[in-house]
Amino acid sequence: MVISPFEDRYKTEINALFDEEAKLQKWMIVEVALAKVHAQLGNIPKDAPKKIENGATKVKVERVHQIENEIHHDLMAMVKALSEQSGDAGKYVHLGATSYDIEDTATALIFVEAIGMVQKSMEKLGATIKKLAIQNKNLVCVGRTHGQHAVPTTYGLKFAIYYQELKRNMERLGEAKKRVAVGKMSGAVGTMATFGTGGPKIQKMIMKELGLEESKASNQVIQRDRHAEVLCDLGLIAAMLEKIAKEIRNLQRTEIAEVYESFGAKQVGSSTMPQKRNPHKSERVCSLARLVRANVLTAMENIALEHERDLTNSANERAIFAESFISVDYMLVEMTKILGGLNFFHENIKRNLELTNGLIMSERLMIYLVENKKMGRQEAHELVRTMAQEAFSGKKHLKALVIDKKLLSKKEADELFDYSTYTGCAKEIVENAVKD
């Protein structure tokens, strides 16, 4: 029976990194690396690592769970299961290590792979956003601040802004990847006492074998600021995706109706209202973003473990690591699909530009009066403000009011109230923002 929606509903390729089988394999990879180093240093027979490595291919999750049910320790259950399959080399499994030498080092391996998969999903989304920015760099629409019509902008600029934020998130995640790609082999409290004076060399050799950096100082665990940083970055990615999804949801409102999610020929929007065309995919992205952000707080609280460590991080990390990575990867994949199939309703975009009867050109009119009619800036502002109120109250077009008051000629007014000519450097900004 499936309990978690991450096992099916929100599943992506990244799930394979977090299932029980994958975790077990990573644990045993670290155990094999430990045995190899011991053999290289002459601490155990030369043929022991190969026997342990072969044994690892025979260990079954079911057997590990069977042992765990008896001894109530998941890592030691793996050690026993691996020892069973390693013949006479079984007695050398886990030599000198503590549980979290294995678990935290394995977690680093999982995080590195998971971040790599998220980065690939981000690259695909970036290509889609870049395409939309270029395609729509000249598509003029009304800009909104405080939920109110402001001045014209372009859809290309909207997407260019998203593209730049995506880039920053990729840079952040890349930096965090370096800091989380760290393992340890330092024992129960970080002193390496079980390895004697050879501890630092053993740790260094193991991490080289695994392609990880070594922790310069640790207690029983890798310090949780490293994992919290990654989850913070995943939270930022989720927030960015929510920003895009929320904009789509608002622009899909019936009263605005400028863009719509794609809608299949047999798709159902509501069980009772047949006409509904809900932005449910974007809403799903917003919903999952809340979960990812909540997990960030838990990861932060895991930093302050007691003394050389306690176990208060363990249970929640079984959930928050997988949930956060799977959620974000799913959201990235989903957003790529949403944007790839986004429908633009150009007639509504044009209609909304005219919705306020020219009031969105008030700023341009004020600047024009200052530059061409020798008015002071504050004087022009007050004049346009009062005219804007008059136009709003009387349901008149601001352009007509300006002509009636003989502030501008009809030719001047026609040119000034052309929305397509008041987008400033938007086209250049878009091109520069996505040129890389």
**Active-site residue (options: 146, 271, 307, 393):** 146
Q: How confident is the model at residue 436 (pLDDT cuts 50, 70, 90)?
A: confident
Q: How many CA atoms lie within 13 A of 211 on its CB side?
A: 8
CB atoms near residue 216 (< 10 Å): 9
Architecture of domain 359-416: Orthogonal Bundle (1.10)
- Rg (C-alpha) for the chain, rounded Å, is 30
Asked if residue 129 lies in contact with residue 88, where contact means CB atoms within 8 angstroms, the answer is no
Residues 6+ apart with CB under 8 A from 83: 55, 90, 91, 93
CATH 1.10.275.10 fits 1-95, yes or no: yes
| pLDDT (tens digit per residue) in 320-342 | 999 999 999 999 999 999 999 99
pLDDT at 33 over 90: yes
Structure tokens belonging to residue 150: 């402001």
- Residue whose entry in the numeric block shows the structure tokens 């290289």: 40
CATH topology of domain 108-183+222-262+276-355+425-436: Fumarase C; Chain A, domain 2 (1.20.200)
Q: How confident is the model at residue 368 (pLDDT cuts 50, 70, 90)?
A: very high
Q: How confident is the model at residue 90 (pLDDT cuts 50, 70, 90)?
A: very high
Asked if residue 335 lies in contact with residue 159, where contact means CB atoms within 8 angstroms, the answer is no
Asked if residue 18 lies in contact with residue 25, where contact means CB atoms within 8 angstroms, the answer is no
Structure tokens belonging to residue 235: 């939270």
Q: Catalytic: 270?
A: yes
DSSP 332: H
| Separation of CA 339 from chain center | 16
Asked if residue 108 lies in contact with residue 198, where contact means CB atoms within 8 angstroms, the answer is no
Q: How confident is the model at residue 271 (pLDDT cuts 50, 70, 90)?
A: confident
Q: Catalytic: 346?
A: no
- Residue whose entry in the numeric block shows the structure tokens 């990575």: 325
| pLDDT (tens digit per residue) in 404-416 | 999 999 999 999 9
DSSP secondary structure letters along 67-117: HHHHHS-HHHHHHHHHHHHSGGGGGGTTTT--HHHHHHHHHHHHHHHHHHH
C-alpha–C-alpha distance, residues 255 and 219, integer Å:
59
Out of 13-27, 107-121, 250-264, 340-354, which region has the weakest mean confidence (pLDDT)? 250-264
C-alpha–C-alpha distance, residues 358 and 398, integer Å:
5
Domain residue ranges in the chain: 1-95, 108-183+222-262+276-355+425-436, 359-416
Asked if residue 101 lies in contact with residue 186, where contact means CB atoms within 8 angstroms, the answer is yes
Paired residues of 140 in beta bridges: 154
Position 269 scores a pLDDT of: 77
pLDDT at 53 over 80: yes
**Active-site residue (options: 4, 73, 262, 270):** 270
- Residue whose entry in the numeric block shows the structure tokens 């029980």: 20
